[in-house]
Amino acid sequence: QLWSTIKYPPSQEATQLKKNLLDSLTNFRVAQENYGGAPEIDFGVRGGELNETSRAPQKVDYYAISPEVGAAADEVLRVCAELRLVSPIDEPTHFLGSKVNGTRAPLNGPWKLLFTTAADASFSKNSTRGDAKAQNVVDAVKGKITNVIDFATRDDGTEPVLKQLNVVIKATANSPTRVALNFLYAKAVLTKFFFFPLFGRKLVLYIPVPAAFITRIIVFFTRLFRFGKTGAKTVPKAYFDVLYLDDELRVHKTGEDNIFVQGKPTWAAASRFFE
């Protein structure tokens, strides 16, 4: 038996639900445009990014933006729950970390963010952090995942201090559907260093990441806030469970109960969301 990618093509029900998901994502973005915009998440606990007790990523309260945005987000989550029941792959983590068969792993490759309930992955131009696009690149041969955050140019045309952040993570299959995460290091691409301009050049720094705290790195380089408190509790071990997976769409839930909806850049039907 081959376990390379899709066990069988997505069923008619799954195909229809994927269309419903794209429709719900369209309605969600329309609701954001018309009824309050994107969540304005800022650094740390005060900014709504991290839970005050655990320091883990907080869930976005879309109803705090408006009832319309909250209802639209709920519809996205409802479709995700239905997709979970018709996922065409029994073992999404198969071949993850395999030097021989990693390229055949169902999770392998780039995945662009379409929707999330995680505050630390939600960006807005109206926040101090600024707007950004996020994607997730799985190198199943090496058993590594790279979270890539590209921060947008500001409305006045100036570049953010932190232009790009890549967080490299060791990924290990804990079960047929669960991936354990061990944060290794971050690569920060800077346009300034301690407020000194680089005159169009970029400075690349590599920083060890001892725990799931990319916020610490963002805060350090923007020098906007002092993160956390002395003796703060550490974040629990990180993982995610794959809820739905095919060769175009991935839906997973983290240990903090946050949902991520991601699509392959080659998914033509979702291309409008990647622009």
Give the tens place of pLDDT for each residue, 98-153: 999 999 999 999 999 999 998 776 665 555 666 678 889 999 999 999 999 888 77
Query: Which run of H or E residues covers position 55?
Result: none
Residue 176: which pLDDT band, with cuts at 50, 70 and 90? very high
DSSP strand pairing (162-173 vs 144-151)? antiparallel
pLDDT of residue 265: 95
Asked whether the predicted pLDDT for residue 46 surpasses 60, the reply is: no
What local confidence, expressed as pLDDT, does residue 82 receive? 98
Structure confidence at residue 129 (pLDDT): 61
Please state, for a pLDDT cut of 70, what percent of the chain lies above it.
Answer: 72
Average pLDDT over every residue of 245-254:
96
Structure confidence at residue 124 (pLDDT): 57
DSSP string over 102-144: GGG-TT-EEEEEEEE-BGGG--BTTSSSB-EEEEEEEETTTTE
Per the model's pLDDT, the better-predicted residue between 198 and 171 turns out to be: 171
Residue of 95 and 53 predicted with greater confidence = 95
Read off the tokens for 196. 């000194």
**The predicted structure's pLDDT at residue 116:** 93
Is pLDDT larger for residue 24 or for residue 162?
Answer: 24
The residue among 86, 65, 64 whose CA lies nearest residue 20 is 86
- For residues 228-249, average pLDDT: 74
Report helix angle 12-34 to 67-84, nearest 10. 170
* 185 vs 203, more confident: 185
67: its two tokens: 């009832």
Sign of the CA dihedral running 166, 129, 118, 121: negative
